[in-house]
Amino acid sequence: MNSKFSKRSDTIQASEIRELLKLIGASDIISFGGGLPAEEIFPVEEMKVICGEILSEYGGKSMQYAPSEGYDKLRKIIVEIMREKGINADLDNILIVSGSQQGLDLTAKAFIDEGDTIICESPTYLSAINAFKPFYPKFEEICIDNEGLIPEALEERLKNNKNVKFLYTIPDFQNPTGVTLSLERRKKIIELANKYNILIVEDNPYSELNFTGQYLPSLKSLDTEERVIYLSTFSKTVCPGFRIGWICASKEIIKKYVLFRQGSDLHTNIFSQMQIAKLFEKYDVKANIKKNIEICKSRRDTMLDTIKAEFPKEVKYTEPKGGFFLWVTLPAYMDSKELLKCTLKSGVAFISGEAFFPNGGHKNTLRLNYSSINEEKIRKGIKILSNVIKENML
Amino acid sequence: MNSKFSKRSDTIQASEIRELLKLIGASDIISFGGGLPAEEIFPVEEMKVICGEILSEYGGKSMQYAPSEGYDKLRKIIVEIMREKGINADLDNILIVSGSQQGLDLTAKAFIDEGDTIICESPTYLSAINAFKPFYPKFEEICIDNEGLIPEALEERLKNNKNVKFLYTIPDFQNPTGVTLSLERRKKIIELANKYNILIVEDNPYSELNFTGQYLPSLKSLDTEERVIYLSTFSKTVCPGFRIGWICASKEIIKKYVLFRQGSDLHTNIFSQMQIAKLFEKYDVKANIKKNIEICKSRRDTMLDTIKAEFPKEVKYTEPKGGFFLWVTLPAYMDSKELLKCTLKSGVAFISGEAFFPNGGHKNTLRLNYSSINEEKIRKGIKILSNVIKENML
């Protein structure tokens, strides 16, 4: 039959990351493409105990329909996590979602009308673009530097555009650049949000994976007017396969999100909510996060050391202090998609940068992930990438 | 701050069912409101074995990011389930989703443009309305009788409206009425879809829970032009708490859905996909479904017998041959929401019917669930409901 797809179907594009994930499953490729956590830290042995206990304690309840807001024991644990970050939250401020990706989808449904402007970092998280695009917003990208997004550039946009719905930002170890927003700028951005009456969507999956031990306050903790919608996840601190994340926001906003989530997937897998809750009750999750930090930090060091030794000096790169990614800017005449074709032949993958810019361009950029690859492979892969770059220098 | 919600936020309403689920958790109420499967049939003991095996066999892979299309072993099992129903499908025709509710959300994203017409049964599944509404369709409701939706009424609408995107239908043991579409009408509806070039979204969660043993072919199995998008789920045959459903459709449609699902929640919980796959590999799921049928049938019998003995003759009701629900039509002057206020005081809940009509009205209807309540409570609850109805008769 003739296609009857919606107009928005034409605007959506395949996530290269997800396509790459399929490649990874299929071969021995060294992939800097995904955003996979180090599998070594997943609490596999703990889960053997936990699953049995859940089934004995809760029986069929662990497999039955459950409330859309989430499992209360897990919501309480999240309230505690929020308190430790200086965020005051009650149970009613927390909605458990099927990965923080769903938090982005619900945000789009609850807030975006066609033609609304969303301001975001340039570049920004690819799958946030894909979550927002089906609702036909306009994206305005704000330049970033080594201290994150530039408040003056933000104010310039806010002055000239009365139709801004929200700022979408990843303040800590941003995906894809690895850059962290400075404290001074955090304060300034909250001021601007108050002054120009906009919401802030703070996407914060990486904050725990901090290599320096110097934690900056989240935007949410600086928010005095309930303007910040905070998204986070257990994907980076426990495991991503269970798809458990959360939203922390005003009660009014959470209520609205709950209505949309009933139409989206009713509720999040209750068995896995119990798995995570029990993990926090019985085990030392923080010790595990420490182990995770050590692994990621060591891999970041290896990647940076190899880059410093191998990349031509014309190539610029970020030096993340946490998280999973660093960002490479090639000479302006290079196209990272063309490079990718070459490196794939030698068994190395990465994500070319253009997809991280909602309005396109910036073909000379690329994102590298270091969290899920062992150090030998990082060295080998970066050398291969470096050689391909050198071959393509003018 | 001032609310900045999207326009669609004003159109969405709380699902009474989900609100009731919260009530259920909190008290001893006899709730005919939910659509819970009988908890007794959940494979709790089997899961104790299965979880350990998954963790030993797959380790961290069972907790890592996974492909958006779903876990291939489970997709193969679904291909087999489809074949048994006379539906020819390959792996690429199957997308695993986070409950078939997500199938409805993805359908809305992939197909509905503002102002498109969706035709549905009158009444129809409440949470389908909530999945579609955020994309601003118009709903045209088609009358149903004891053989399901009336093809002549459907053709009348198709003749007069060129803007129909799809027919949404639940052919087997419909939610909320329990009515089943006859074979003759199934054939006629496929003919009409071909003639008027529309899609059919066939939502079929209940077909296995057939009390008569007489199975009718699904619309999808009668489809020769890849017009039917078939949704189903393990929620009614294994358990709902894992939130695992699937879509079976043309490869072109599945590809498009995969793109939208990447923006929605990336992928479905991989651990639970493995749980279901292993259950099918190691255990006799069909024997469990048989047990489920026996329980549900016996509860339906009890409910119907009590209704026949107790309800005043002015009250009409359906006699479902499978599934979870029956539908009650009160005298036209009654308002089931008012009745609900009375029955709640005596500890009995149900869903008033109006919410199942996308364009409202029909206040004198209500839905009763029998699958999750034991027979003593069914008798007690129906008597209480019946007394309240009698008290409100003119």
Which of A42, A61, A265 to probe by mutation at the B interface, max B CB count within 10 Å? A265
**Is B60 in contact with A52 (Cβ distance < 8 A)?**
no
How many Å apart are CA B232 and CA A235, to the nearest integer? 28
How many Å apart are CA A189 and CA A206, to the nearest integer? 20
Find the closest chain A residue to B372 by CA distance: A64
How many Å apart are CA A213 and CA A309, to the nearest integer? 27
- pLDDT tens figures, A135-192: 999 999 999 999 999 999 999 999 999 999 999 999 999 999 999 999 999 999 999 9
Closest-CA distance of chain B to residue A362, Å: 22
Contact at 8 Å (CB) between A166 and A199? yes
**Is B127 in contact with A266 (Cβ distance < 8 A)?**
yes
How many Å apart are CA A22 and CA B211, to the nearest integer? 42
**Is B9 in contact with A133 (Cβ distance < 8 A)?**
no
- Claim to verify: residue A319 and residue A229 sit in the same structural domain: no
- Bridge partners, A246 (sequence order): A96, A232
Closest-CA distance of chain B to residue A216, Å: 25
Within 8 A of A158 by CB-CB distance, chain B residues are none
CB-closest option in B4, B37, B65 to A21: B65
**Is B18 in contact with A68 (Cβ distance < 8 A)?**
yes
Which of A63, A165, A274 to probe by mutation at the B interface, max B CB count within 10 Å? A63
**Is A242 in contact with B63 (Cβ distance < 8 A)?**
yes
What are phi and psi for residue B328, nearest 5 degrees?
-115, 130
- Claim to verify: residue B313 and residue B267 sit in the same structural domain: no
Closest-CA distance of chain B to residue A181, Å: 24
- Claim to verify: residue A275 and residue A145 sit in the same structural domain: yes
- A263 in a domain, yes or no? yes
Closest-CA distance of chain B to residue A236, Å: 10
Find the closest chain B residue to A243 by CA distance: B269
**What's the pLDDT at B23?**
59
CB-closest option in A6, A52, A166 to B110: A6
**Is A63 in contact with B51 (Cβ distance < 8 A)?**
no
CB-closest option in B239, B252, B265 to A98: B265
> Token pair 């725990």 is at which residue?
A208
**What's the pLDDT at B54?**
98
- A197 in a domain, yes or no? yes
**What's the pLDDT at A34?**
86
Find the closest chain A residue to B22 by CA distance: A67
Alpha helices in chain A (DSSP H): 8-11, 16-26, 44-58, 72-84, 100-111, 126-132, 151-160, 183-196, 219-222, 251-264, 270-282, 285-310, 336-345, 375-391
- pLDDT tens figures, B274-330: 999 999 999 999 999 999 999 999 999 999 999 999 999 999 999 999 999 999 999
CATH number of the domain at A308, please. Answer: 3.90.1150.10
- Claim to verify: residue A146 and residue A161 sit in the same structural domain: yes
- A172 in a domain, yes or no? yes
- Claim to verify: residue A259 and residue A163 sit in the same structural domain: yes
**Is A22 in contact with B67 (Cβ distance < 8 A)?**
yes
Within 8 A of B225 by CB-CB distance, chain A residues are 1
- B2 in a domain, yes or no? no
* N- to C-terminal Cα separation, chain B: 50
Q: What share of chain B is helix, strand, coil (3-state, %, to 5)?
A: 50, 15, 35
Q: What is the DSSP string of B209-265?
A: -BSSS-PPPPHHHH-SSS-EEEEEESTTTT-STT--EEEE--HHHHHHHHHHHHHHT
Nearest to A164 by CA among A116, A107, A111, A228: A116
Find the closest chain A residue to B97 by CA distance: A265
What are phi and psi for residue B386, nearest 5 degrees?
-60, -40
**Is A18 in contact with B262 (Cβ distance < 8 A)?**
yes
Closest-CA distance of chain A to residue B72, Å: 11
In the DSSP assignment, the letter for residue A155 is H
CB-closest option in A7, A12, A68 to B259: A12
In the DSSP assignment, the letter for residue A92 is G
User: Which residues span the domain enclosing A329?
Assistant: 8-43+287-391
> Token pair 């003919």 is at which residue?
B191
Contact at 8 Å (CB) between A2 and B197? yes
- A119 in a domain, yes or no? yes
- A48 in a domain, yes or no? no
Contact at 8 Å (CB) between B120 and B356? no
**What's the pLDDT at B20?**
60
Which residue among A282, A301, A329 closes a domain? A282
CB-closest option in B55, B134, B260 to A109: B134
- pLDDT tens figures, B207-233: 999 999 999 999 999 999 999 999 999
**Is B264 in contact with A67 (Cβ distance < 8 A)?**
no
What are phi and psi for residue B204, nearest 5 degrees?
-130, 65
Between vectors from CA A263 to CA A259 and to CA A267, what angle results, nearest 5°?
80
Contact at 8 Å (CB) between B353 and B390? no
- pLDDT tens figures, B154-206: 999 999 999 999 999 999 999 999 999 999 999 999 999 999 999 999 999 99
**Is A63 in contact with B241 (Cβ distance < 8 A)?**
yes
- Claim to verify: residue A192 and residue A304 sit in the same structural domain: no
**Is B134 in contact with A12 (Cβ distance < 8 A)?**
no
**What's the pLDDT at A15?**
61
> Token pair 């291939």 is at which residue?
B72
Query: pLDDT tier at B34 (50, 70, 90 boundaries)?
Result: confident
For A267, the token pair is 């509720």
Which residue among A282, A307, A326 closes a domain? A282
- Claim to verify: residue B226 and residue B319 sit in the same structural domain: no
Helices A285-310 and A375-391 cross at an angle (nearest 10°) of: 30
CB-closest option in A60, A241, A271 to B242: A271
**Is B44 in contact with A60 (Cβ distance < 8 A)?**
yes
Query: Which tops the pLDDT comparison, B27 or B3?
Result: B3
Which residue among A226, A249, A282 closes a domain? A282
**Is B64 in contact with A48 (Cβ distance < 8 A)?**
no
E strands within chain B?
30-31, 94-97, 117-122, 138-145, 148-149, 164-169, 199-203, 228-233, 245-248, 316-317, 325-329, 348-349, 351-352, 365-369
**Is A265 in contact with B22 (Cβ distance < 8 A)?**
no
pLDDT tops 90 at residue B17: no
**Is B5 in contact with A110 (Cβ distance < 8 A)?**
yes
Which of B39, B74, B271 to probe by mutation at the A interface, max A CB count within 10 Å? B271
**Is A127 in contact with B7 (Cβ distance < 8 A)?**
no
- Claim to verify: residue B32 and residue B52 sit in the same structural domain: no
Within 8 A of A59 by CB-CB distance, chain B residues are 39, 42, 44
- Claim to verify: residue A229 and residue A97 sit in the same structural domain: yes
- Claim to verify: residue B133 and residue B211 sit in the same structural domain: yes
- Claim to verify: residue B186 and residue B50 sit in the same structural domain: yes
- A58 in a domain, yes or no? no
- The complex's ipTM works out to 0.95
Nearest to A252 by CA among A217, A286, A227, A220: A227
Interface size between A and B, measured as CB pairs under 8 A: 269
How many Å apart are CA B30 and CA B16, to the nearest integer? 15
Closest-CA distance of chain A to residue B390, Å: 33
pLDDT tops 90 at residue B13: no
> Token pair 């340039």 is at which residue?
A122
Lowest mean pLDDT among A335-339, B25-29, B142-146: B25-29
**Is A135 in contact with B6 (Cβ distance < 8 A)?**
yes
CATH number of the domain at A84, please. Answer: 3.40.640.10
pLDDT tens for chain A, residues 1 to 394: 657 899 999 877 766 655 655 655 556 789 999 889 999 999 999 999 999 999 999 999 999 999 999 999 999 999 999 999 999 999 999 999 999 999 999 999 999 999 999 999 999 999 999 999 999 999 999 999 999 999 999 999 999 999 999 999 999 999 999 999 999 999 999 999 999 999 999 999 999 999 999 999 999 999 999 999 999 999 999 999 999 999 999 999 999 999 999 999 999 999 999 999 999 999 999 999 999 999 999 999 999 999 999 999 999 999 999 999 999 999 999 999 999 989 988 999 999 999 999 999 999 999 999 999 999 999 999 999 999 999 999 9
Find the closest chain A residue to B268 by CA distance: A243
- Claim to verify: residue B39 and residue B50 sit in the same structural domain: no
**Is A243 in contact with B64 (Cβ distance < 8 A)?**
no
CB-closest option in A1, A44, A109 to B8: A109
**Is B6 in contact with A36 (Cβ distance < 8 A)?**
no
- pLDDT tens figures, B358-369: 999 999 999 999
Domains contained in chain A, number: 2
Find the closest chain B residue to A43 by CA distance: B60
Which of A101, A237, A266 to probe by mutation at the B interface, max B CB count within 10 Å? A266
**Is B272 in contact with A271 (Cβ distance < 8 A)?**
yes
- B7 in a domain, yes or no? no
What are phi and psi for residue A233, nearest 5 degrees?
-160, 155
Mean pLDDT, chain B, whole residue set: 94
